[in-house]
Amino acid sequence: MNRARTAPPSRRSILAGAAALGAGTLLTACGGGKSDGSDASGGGSGSWSFKDDRGTTVKADGVPEKIVAFIGSAAALKDYGIECTGVFGPTKAADGKPDVQAGEVDIDKVTVLGNAWGEFNVEKYAGLQPELLISNMFEKNTLWYVPEESKKKITALAPSIGISTVGVSLTTPIRRYAQLAESLGADLKSEKATADKKRFEEASARLRRAAKAAGGIKVLACSGSPDLFYASTPSGSADLTYFKELGVDLVEPDNPDEGGFFESLSWENADKYKADILFLDNRSSALQPKALAKKPTWAKLPAVEAGQVVGWSSEPRYSYAGCAPLIEQLAKAIEDAKKIV
């Protein structure tokens, strides 16, 4: 699965993504014009507002505290010290351990409203008396992992914020989550926040150097499901867009599915694109190397035979702390790779 391996054109369709507010802050949402969110305010007592990437401004008499978020959004906020009350989306792996998307979130201390696509316990959500709901947007104005069939009930319970993660480069959603975190009380000048940003910048510089010295090393971002192999389009992901800007030679599928996010291939045609490194989707919803080893065409791919497969967090947590290690990992893979195709 790449992002949401959906039947085109919608990413959502593939994964199968009167209410009382709490007794505290009363929030309202209203339409707004274009903004990069820099007009957010908060971090103390008094009024609070934030304009999201739909152009919607959410306002409150005070900083929201009962926050419910998509697990990746919660993980990004956690990196700035902002805790969420509840989460939804891939939170716990089959073995009970944190899903790769959970980041540093303590999954035993948050209420999990749903752990898979289509799961969202509205009654439990209402019981949390939410003041704010936050999620990524991989489609315009569509909150990730908020089920379409229960969307009206969910969004009636509390105002929502959507952060766009497509059609932009990686630094944009990272900046937006930093702005959101700051409005909710985070100190972006703290020692940790400063160190995290510095590490991200140094990792990016390292990847740029590695890509320049790579000598034509080609990287294919990909994902596997039982029936299909997906070759991802760099422009369809904020992180891949950024890596390409840094000089990484990413394979460009020549026949993307409708929507343009990836090209779906039968396993018989998984070798259509030649690559020295396979950047493999590491989410729990996608097949991992152990399962992929059972696919004859996978085992015969040059990068697999050469051991040049590196995990790809195709839904990263959009924070400096979350993305720096991913960039370092890719940089090392390119530094260590041999040209094989």
Domain boundary assignment for the chain: 12-187, 194-336
Give the pLDDT confidence of 35-91 residue by residue, as tens digits.
344 445 554 456 999 999 999 999 999 999 999 999 999 999 999 999 999 999 999
Burial of 297 (0-12, 13-18, 19+ CB in 10 A): middle
Q: Could you tell me the pLDDT band of residue 232, with boundaries at 50, 70 and 90?
A: very high
Q: Please check whether the two domains, 12-187 and 194-336, share a CATH topology.
A: yes
The whole-number pLDDT of residue 109 equals: 96
The first and second tokens of residue 278, run together, are 């396979």
Whether the model clears a pTM of 0.75, i.e. scores above it, the answer is yes
Q: Give mean pLDDT, residues 310-333.
A: 97
Q: Give mean pLDDT, residues 221-248.
A: 96
Which of 146, 12, 171 lies closest to 69, judged by CA?
A: 146
The whole-number pLDDT of residue 34 equals: 37
Give the pLDDT confidence of 140-198 residue by residue, as tens digits.
899 999 999 999 999 999 999 999 998 999 999 999 999 999 999 999 999 999 999 99
The whole-number pLDDT of residue 260 equals: 83
pLDDT at 32 over 70: no
Give the sign of the dihedral formed by CA 66, CA 172, CA 316, CA 252.
positive
- As a CATH number, domain 194-336 is 3.40.50.1980
Give the pLDDT confidence of 115-134 residue by residue, as tens digits.
999 999 999 999 999 999 99
CATH architecture label of 12-187 = 3-Layer(aba) Sandwich (3.40)
User: Which segments within the chain are labelled E, that is strand?
Assistant: 27-31, 48-51, 56-60, 67-70, 86-88, 111-112, 132-137, 160-164, 218-224, 228-232, 249-250, 262-266, 277-281, 309-312
The count of residues in the chain is 341
Tell me the sheet residues that pair with 183. none
To the nearest 10°, report the CA torsion of 69, 74, 80, 85.
60
